[in-house]
Structure 1
Amino acid sequence: MHLGHLWHLVAAAAFAVAAPARLVPRDVSSSVLEQFTLYAQWAAAAYCSNNLDSTGDAITCAGDYCPEVESSKTISLSEFNDTNDFGDTAGFVAVDETNKQIVVAFRGSKSISNWIADLDFDLTDASDLCDGCEAHSGFLGAWEAVADSITSQVASAKQTYSGYTLVVTGHSLGGAIAAIGATALRNAGYDLNLYTFGQPRVGNLALATYLTEQGNNRMTHLNDIVPRLPPMDFGFSHSSPEYWITTGDDVTVTTSDIEVIDGIDSTAGNAGELIESVDAHAWYIIDIDGGPQSPRRRNRIKSILLTIFIVLAIYFIFFAHPESSHKPSTKTDYAQLHKATPTPKADEQARPVIRKHKEMIVASMKSDDTSWFTEYFPDWSRSIYVVDDKTAPLTVPYNKGRESMVYLTYIIDNYDSLPDVMLFLHSQRFQWHNDDPYYDGVPYLQKKGYVNLRCVWTLGCPVEIHPLSDGHRDDVHAGEYFLNAFKELFPSYPVPEEIGTSCCAQLGVNRTVVLSRPKSDYEHFRNWLAATTLTDDLSGRIMEYSWHIIFGQKAVYCPSAEACYCNLYGLCDLKCSEGTCAGRYVLPPFSSLPKGWPYVGWDGQAQNPSYGLPES
């Protein structure tokens, strides 16, 4: 599957530099909706009683509530249905051979005892999950009741089905247990995707932050009451991001019906609705809580939730004090604009580091809107650096050398816990040098080790710099400065006669290649950037034409455009010459775009960015 569409990323992404931050409402991509639809069906299947004693059987649902699951080749590997002090913890571990995934699905609230567990608003120590973390005592206890058996089954399944993706999902109470269980499984070394629907808050701010850093896909619906519980005044927090369905019950959900809400404890989305609804809790793309439910059961749940309301009302009238209220931070600029991995506190440094699988490292400025990374790439971890604000969660020691200072700072700070795959990117959604509407270079990247995300040769190939002979030019060109810079950066290497690679310093690299150099090399490169008397643009340009050498490629690294598009993006039927392919990229007349891009072209004409290329 492609890494995603940046709104068909930008079938015009190759041409833009700076477009308005919000050209369209923040809809999700079709691939994101497809994933949520599939895992909503898996969560719904956990409600079906025929899947709770069915080892070796296919996963099925009464009625037509999980057609995509039933049409796949599935096998239930084990089931759990544990009655404990915290209610009933039920669900299954299954394998989906069609989609090559192992799924752990937790059932939501099914009985009165489950809802009594939900009514308990006590926080308890969860430092086994993360430093400073506290979790809802009932949700944590419900996970711990089945943790050993599920962890054992997952280990066995991963051994049998090597290379399969692990997914954890659940609705309502099942979503809460899934969130805690996914955290524990990740701490045990498993790379997984988490999808929850109508999940209540599961713990304190430290746990919400840890969940956010690990990555999660948390869906809410309109004014569903359950994600509002337990209340923030009791010390509970929600992770980010939130995928908020904005339409009513029993309405087909489209990409434009889902908004991406960024920020831990955001008061937008579901939390911003004035009136809560019980019925909204049952509709998550499908009728998620088991399909044909009787009115009697629905009425019973409404009565229980009304009891919750009464308990809360008594608490707030007689016991709650404004000064003790848990309020989200007023510093919403980075929460809303930048989705970055929080910097570990000092006391967290001693904890074992859980290595991520794939991460985007983004060089941005505080005026940039980088929320589109969260929207279109929810399954990637993101480290978003803000170079011109020293108070940002992630920043650089010196704002010099353009994106290079960010890239080097990330590698140095994370050298001992680098993810398997890294994409180093610029912040803007529309940039003139973006080459293709897709970013899925991961399969090729894992084999190749290093890739330039730009395939076209225009600017940089076949040769851009002749270090031994280049003289002065009036434009910003690194040629005349490259000879001395190369000697300072790579003192043990002979200066090459020619340097060539496609421009613009957006690249992918795997962990093994980064670690092929010692950390001291990257520190040396950053120290050079800090000390050089060259201007910001020239020092950045020199690094731009050095990354491929740093990561082990020859001085001239110009794979054919045809091979690059095929290997990197899966576009293997293009008509190509050596350095370009028809219909893929045209150098724009200007580096800044007209107002209204991509819907407005260079001459003010209307254009449709959903297909074809813009007029050059």
Structure 2
Amino acid sequence: MRGRTAIATTILFVVIICLFISAPKSWRTGASPPSVTGHYPYVKPSPLPWNPPSSKEPSGEAQADRLIVKVMLEDEDALWIDSLFPTWRKELVTIDKRFSKLHKGGNRVDKGRIASHYLIWIIENYKNLPETVVFLPPDQHTQQTSQSVIWTSSGSNLKTNISNLQIAFIQSSGFANLHCPTPSRCADLILPFRSPPNEFRTLEVAMPKVWQGIFGNTTVPEQLATAPGAEFAVSKTQVQKRSLDEYLKFWTWLHRTPMDDDTAGLVFEHLWHVIFGRDAVFCPEEKQCECEVYGKC
């Protein structure tokens, strides 16, 4: 009996040693397993790290007259911008492409992060702005087809469009969407007070609360429409018509909203024109846009 107990104890001891050796390192050290990006479902850390951007002091140096702010993925080729130098200077903001897989089926970077980087750049450079800024998002493979249609509708490619950009118009109007909208792109109005509500139009249903979260206690428009996108040009004067605190408020809303990154970014695609002084419904005719923005009259 005593011999059998000793054998059983020995076997148990061997099994424990084997389990210990084969266990993950975090079991043996007591450390938490490393976080892994790119998995679904994505759960934001709680509490969220809070590190709001702050404005740089005036540099005292002459700023570029025209600047392209390009948000890009790590392996993206943005060398084409160099061919626009010295007329256009550039600032490249690189983001981690692994965030493209935070959502099931995701194969592009989250748009919420694009809006965040635009706002961070504006906040940090608010006191050192160039006269004209063009904002461009990453080149996204899933949107290449639609993007080529957009730029073809302007009669040219992106590089040529920026070369043809009518700076006098940008300075006088303050803002221009680089997408000259076809009628179909502006036909889909967001109606925040649609009656009865269409629950399938989730952004529309959420817009009254979103609007007040971003713009404070201001009147929510009955209609909202533009050619959505994150490619636009804006003047220094127009940017500074809003205070630094307002841009920080926009950034704060983006980082505290329970919306997923994709939807939150889509919100800003529908609101950049409002942020930069245009009416809630901003849908210039395609030919008018091509003439005013690109000189194709």
Shorter chain as denominator, the TM-score bin is 0.5 to 0.7
- Are 1:486 and 2:190 an aligned pair? no
Report the counterpart of residue 60 of structure 2 in structure 1.
Answer: 352
Query: Retained in 2: the 8 A contact 1:455–1:564?
Result: yes
Code of the aligned partner of 1:509? V
Code of the aligned partner of 1:517? R
2:262 to 537, 549, 552: 537
Residues 546, 408 of structure 1: CA spacing in aligned structure 2 closer, same or farther, 3 A cutoff?
A: same
1:367 to 71, 75, 78: 75
Deviation of 1:537 (Å): 1.1
Report the counterpart of residue 125 of structure 2 in structure 1.
Answer: 414
Code of the aligned partner of 1:358? R
SS at match of 2:123: helix
Deviation of 1:458 (Å): 5.1
- Are 1:428 and 2:139 an aligned pair? yes
CA distance in 1, matches of 2:85, 2:189: 33
CA distance in 2, matches of 1:487, 1:406: 22
CA distance in 1, matches of 2:207, 2:129: 30
Give per-residue Cα distances to partners, 1:116-173, cap 9 Å, x unaligned. xxxxxxxxxxxxxxxxxxxxxxxxxxxxxxxxxxxxxxxxxxxxxxxxxxxxxxxxxx
Residues 350, 455 of structure 1: CA spacing in aligned structure 2 closer, same or farther, 3 A cutoff?
A: closer
The structure with the greater share of residues assigned to helix is 2
Query: Retained in 2: the 8 A contact 1:400–1:530?
Result: no
Deviation of 1:459 (Å): 5.5
Query: Retained in 2: the 8 A contact 1:463–1:499?
Result: no
Code of the aligned partner of 2:70? V
SS at match of 1:401: helix
Residues 350, 421 of structure 1: CA spacing in aligned structure 2 closer, same or farther, 3 A cutoff?
A: closer
CA distance in 1, matches of 2:94, 2:68: 14
CA distance in 2, matches of 1:429, 1:370: 13
The structure with the greater share of residues assigned to strand is 1
CA distance in 1, matches of 2:283, 2:65: 28
Please show how residues 337-486 of structure 1 align to structure 2 within 5 Å.
351-388=59-96, 401-428=112-139, 431=144, 432-433=146-147, 434-435=150-151, 436=154, 437=156, 438-439=161-162, 440-441=164-165, 442-457=167-182, 460-469=185-194, 470-473=197-200, 478-486=203-211
Code of the aligned partner of 2:138? S
Please report the TM-score for the alignment, with normalisation by the length of structure 2: 0.66
Please report the TM-score for the alignment, with normalisation by the length of structure 1: 0.33
Any gaps of 5 or more consecutive residues in structure 2?
Answer: 1-55, 98-109
SS at match of 2:62: coil
SS at match of 1:417: coil
Deviation of 1:505 (Å): 2.0
Report the counterpart of residue 549 of structure 1 in structure 2.
Answer: 274
Query: Retained in 1: the 8 A contact 2:181–2:283?
Result: no
SS at match of 1:368: coil
CA distance in 1, matches of 2:171, 2:89: 17
Code of the aligned partner of 2:176? V
Aligned length: 215
Deviation of 1:568 (Å): 1.1
Code of the aligned partner of 2:182? W
CA distance in 1, matches of 2:199, 2:269: 19
Deviation of 1:564 (Å): 0.6
Residues 449, 349 of structure 1: CA spacing in aligned structure 2 closer, same or farther, 3 A cutoff?
A: closer
SS at match of 2:255: helix
Residues 458, 402 of structure 1: CA spacing in aligned structure 2 closer, same or farther, 3 A cutoff?
A: farther
Query: Retained in 2: the 8 A contact 1:456–1:502?
Result: yes
Give per-residue Cα distances to partners, 1:179-199, cap 9 Å, x unaligned. xxxxxxxxxxxxxxxxxxxxx
Please show how residues 91-490 of structure 1 align to structure 2 within 5 Å.
351-388=59-96, 401-428=112-139, 431=144, 432-433=146-147, 434-435=150-151, 436=154, 437=156, 438-439=161-162, 440-441=164-165, 442-457=167-182, 460-469=185-194, 470-473=197-200, 478-490=203-215
Q: Which runs of 4+ in 1 moved over 4 A?
A: 348-351
Give per-residue Cα distances to partners, 1:448-479, cap 9 Å, x unaligned. 111111112356414431112253328xx622
Query: Retained in 2: the 8 A contact 1:462–1:558?
Result: no
Residues 560, 400 of structure 1: CA spacing in aligned structure 2 closer, same or farther, 3 A cutoff?
A: closer
CA distance in 2, matches of 1:472, 1:369: 40
CA distance in 1, matches of 2:140, 2:64: 24
CA distance in 1, matches of 2:173, 2:124: 24
Deviation of 1:351 (Å): 4.9
Give per-residue Cα distances to partners, 1:505-537, cap 9 Å, x unaligned. 211110001000000000000010101010111
CA distance in 2, matches of 1:459, 1:527: 33
Give per-residue Cα distances to partners, 1:57-99, cap 9 Å, x unaligned. xxxxxxxxxxxxxxxxxxxxxxxxxxxxxxxxxxxxxxxxxxx
SS at match of 2:293: helix
Residues 378, 352 of structure 1: CA spacing in aligned structure 2 closer, same or farther, 3 A cutoff?
A: closer
Query: Retained in 1: the 8 A contact 2:228–2:269?
Result: yes
Residues 501, 540 of structure 1: CA spacing in aligned structure 2 closer, same or farther, 3 A cutoff?
A: same
SS at match of 1:415: coil
Query: Retained in 2: the 8 A contact 1:450–1:551?
Result: yes
Any gaps of 5 or more consecutive residues in structure 1?
Answer: 1-347, 390-398, 573-616
Report the counterpart of residue 593 of structure 1 in structure 2.
Answer: none
Deviation of 1:349 (Å): 6.3
